[in-house]
Homo-oligomer: A and B are copies of this chain.
Amino acid sequence: MNIKEASEKTGVSSAAIRYYEKELLIPAIDRTDVGNRDIDDRIIRRIQFVTQMRAAGMSIENLRRYIQLFDAQEDNAKEQKAILKTQLAAMEEKRDDLQSAIDHLNYKLNHFYDHMETTEEELRELERQHAEKVTDDAMSEGDGYNNR
């Protein structure tokens, strides 16, 4: 498949695919007799992998470091494993931060509802969330800024 088809299949622009290849995030792509990229499913999967990790917040630089290590010879195994663990911890922290922000917004959203109609159920939920997260005061109605 040519680069345009690969782009359509992955949702990654042709230019970005070229960029990923240049930056060694995906392996060197085979060429046709006239020099055009001929992209197979292995490359597609690598592109999707890169996309997934990028969406998870991994930088090009770190992605390349890991992929290079991984593609290299054996025996880097311990270091790879260490990298994996470190990155995993960072991602879990990021997920937790994200969850905390989601909780915050959910709290606000639920709070909006009681301008209109709030069920007893929702109220108990709000109190439960609020008790857990004391750090969430900033944008809620109690910070003295939004006096409505």
Q: At the interface, yes or no: A130 with Cβ under 8 Å from chain B?
A: yes
**B145 pairs with A87, CB closer than 8 A:** no
Who on chain B is nearest to A100 by CB? B52
Asked if A101 and B62 sit within 8 Å, CB to CB, the answer is: no
| A interface bracket (residues with beta carbon within 8 Å of B) | 35 or more
Give Cα distance in the complex from A90 to B49, angstroms: 20
Tally of this chain's copies: 2
Q: Which of B59, B95, B130, B137 contacts A82 (CB 8 A)?
A: B130
Q: Tell whether A97 is near chain B: CB-to-CB under 8 Å.
A: yes
Report the bound CA distance from A98 to B109 in whole Å. 23
In the complex, whether A32 has a CB less than 8 A from a CB of chain B is: no
**1/0 contact trace for A79-92 toward B, CB 8 Å?**
11111111110111
Is A138's CB under 8 angstroms from B87's CB?
A: yes
Contact flag A62-B134 (CB < 8 Å), given A109-B88, A148-B73: yes
Say how far A64's CB is from chain B's closest CB, in angstroms: 9
Interface residues of A (CB under 8 A from B): 27, 42, 45-46, 48-49, 52-53, 55-59, 62-63, 65-67, 70-71, 73-75, 77-88, 90-92, 94-95, 97-102, 104-106, 108-109, 112, 115-116, 118, 122-123, 126-127, 130-131, 134-146, 148
